[in-house]
């Protein structure tokens, strides 16, 4: 009989599996889930089978891949009734895409990461596909996470870097990210000049919740040629305008 895992460890492993599947809408085979989460294949398979029995994941037999199950949709619908941030963000994200012509996004902070919740395509035909619903990046790596980190409390930033293991290597050292934080604070918006995928640029602006914490971010991405020095300030103003309006709406809802 497999050795029982401590409760908190099981929860952490299940969460890692669900996050891996959420980042891959097409599903993943068992071996990929295992390598992504760092778990052994037997443990991964055992947990996937248990999740399938509860409806949290399904197994696509035709492609031999695991996908998120319908029970998660039910739970998400219930949670969405209380946390309808995506619905509130739609007009802001759509306006950003319309005004800039670039793909526009909403991301949320979750621990030391950002999660993309919403994507709206712009009119420009050549697009960047670095960011999509469900994808996660460490704070400070993509433009959304850099914007959020830059406008977090100084003690939170210091605590984050004490935990930082630099999983993205060259170009993402603590010193380099801190330098970008300073520039972001000066200009009000974050710029990622192709640091994740060469030639794919991003810009982000923090959105503050009712407690004035930088919890969300609006961002845009596109090819490098669309982010020239003359256009950056124009894009930055568009981002800041929508982020400011969105923050004001969130503050107003809290006062009702």
CA-CA distance, 218 to 240, in Å (whole number)? Answer: 9
- Residue 161's Cβ-count burial label (10 Å; 0-12, 13-18, 19+) is middle
∠ CA 231-132-252, rounded to 5°: 75
Task: Please give the domain boundaries of the chain with CATH numbers for all domains.
Answer: 7-74 (1.10.10.10), 83-254 (3.30.450.40)
CA 191 to chain centre: 16
- Asked whether 168 and 113 are in contact (CB, 8 A), the reply is no
Verdict on whether the full-model pTM lies above 0.85:
no
Say what the pLDDT of residue 160 is.
93
State which residues of the chain have pLDDT below 50. 1-4
Tell me the pLDDT tens digit for each residue of 119-140.
999 887 666 666 778 888 999 9
Say what the pLDDT of residue 124 is.
78
CA-CA distance, 130 to 201, in Å (whole number)? Answer: 9
Say what the pLDDT of residue 195 is.
87
CA 213 to chain centre: 17
Q: Which residue has the tokens 């210091």?
A: 158
CA-CA distance, 251 to 256, in Å (whole number)? Answer: 9
């Amino acid at each position: 009989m497999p050795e029982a895992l401590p409760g908190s460890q099981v929860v952490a492993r299940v969460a890692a599996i669900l996050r891996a599947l959420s980042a891959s809408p097409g599903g993943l085979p068992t071996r990929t889930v295992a390598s992504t989460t760092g778990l052994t294949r037997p443990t991964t398979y055992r947990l996937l089978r248990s999740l399938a029995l509860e409806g949290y994941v399904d197994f696509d037999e035709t492609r031999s891949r695991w996908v998120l199950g319908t029970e998660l949709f039910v739970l998400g619908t219930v949670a969405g009734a209380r946390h309808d941030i995506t619905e509130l963000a739609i007009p802001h994200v759509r306006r950003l895409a319309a005004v800039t012509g670039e793909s526009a996004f909403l991301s949320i902070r979750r621990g030391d990461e950002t999660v993309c919740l919403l994507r709206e395509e712009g009119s420009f035909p050549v697009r960047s596909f670095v960011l999509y619903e469900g994808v996660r990046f460490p704070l400070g790596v993509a433009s959304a996470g850099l914007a959020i980190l830059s406008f977090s409390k100084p003690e939170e930033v210091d605590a984050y870097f004490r935990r930082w293991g630099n999983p993205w290597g060259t170009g993402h050292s603590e010193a380099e990210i801190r330098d970008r934080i300073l520039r972001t604070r000066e200009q009000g918006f974050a710029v990622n000049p192709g640091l994740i995928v060469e030639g794919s640029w991003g810009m982000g602006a923090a959105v503050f919740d009712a407690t004035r914490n930088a919890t969300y971010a609006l961002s845009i991405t596109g090819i490098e040629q669309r982010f020239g020095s003359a256009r950056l300030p124009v894009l930055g103003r568009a981002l800041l305008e929508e982020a400011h309006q969105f923050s004001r709406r969130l503050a107003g809802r809290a006062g009702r």
